[in-house]
């Protein structure tokens, strides 16, 4: 039994694990109370995570992103990464038409964005930096994920991409 922020011990609390990259959290850890008393602001800050493992780039979506954005967790081999760049305003980074996915004007974009010769897997929010990962030989040509650790993730991907050349 854990206490909620107001100090009462009535609610059980579970934590959403966060991935780390180079010692920096890829997302925030959020405490979720029971569903009958959940904190909407905590759910609003939950976001997709992207991290580098030994041989792949893994993208994990939250439950609400999977449901409303019609996406699923993805894994891409590092050998397919062509490069990564940081987008200062992740909300403006997706290009093309949303099909399928969720776009709340001025707030959030989650889903698949398609262009003439591109297909982007997207999870971004307003006012948050994002990392754009270019892929080759995959069904998805780019991954655009909003994260506070965009610089660290892009640097790690560029480092592994440089080592793979």
More confident position, 104 or 17: 104
Identify whether the C-beta of residue 27 lies closer than 8 Å to the C-beta of residue 20.
no
Highest mean pLDDT pick, 4-13, 25-34, 99-108: 99-108
pLDDT score for 163: 53
Q: Which two tokens stand for residue 26?
A: 């890829």
Residue 51 has pLDDT above 70, yes or no: yes
More confident position, 27 or 68: 68
Query: What pTM does this model have?
Result: 0.70
Which 8-state DSSP code applies to residue 37? G
109 to 2, 26, 53, 73, 88: CA distances (angstroms) = 34, 18, 26, 16, 15
Identify whether the C-beta of residue 60 lies closer than 8 Å to the C-beta of residue 73.
yes
Least confident of 95-104, 113-122, 155-164: 155-164
143 to 24, 86, 101: CA distances (angstroms) = 20, 12, 14
What's the mean pLDDT in 9-16? Answer: 33
User: Is the bond preceding 40 in cis, omega lying within 30 degrees of 0?
Assistant: no
pLDDT score for 32: 32
Altogether, the residues listed in the chain come to a count of 165
154 SS3 class:
helix
117 to 35, 42, 91, 112, 163: CA distances (angstroms) = 42, 37, 21, 13, 28
């Amino acid at each position: 039994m854990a206490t909620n922020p107001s100090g009462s011990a009535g609610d059980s609390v579970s934590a959403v694990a966060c991935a780390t990259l180079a010692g920096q959290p890829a997302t925030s850890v959020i405490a979720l109370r029971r569903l009958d008393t959940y904190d909407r602001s905590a759910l609003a800050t939950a976001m997709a995570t992207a991290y580098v493992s030994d041989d792949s780039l893994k993208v994990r979506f939250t439950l609400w992103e999977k449901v409303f954005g019609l996406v699923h967790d993805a894994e891409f081999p590092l050998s397919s990464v062509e490069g990564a760049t940081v987008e200062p305003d992740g909300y403006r980074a997706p290009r093309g038409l949303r099909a399928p996915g969720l776009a709340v004007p001025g707030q959030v974009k989650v889903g698949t964005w398609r262009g003439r010769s591109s297909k982007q897997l997207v999870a971004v929010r307003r006012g948050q930096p994002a990392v754009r990962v270019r892929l080759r030989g995959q069904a998805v040509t780019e991954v655009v994920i909003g994260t506070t650790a965009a610089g660290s993730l892009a640097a790690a991907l560029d480092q592994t991409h440089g080592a793979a050349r």
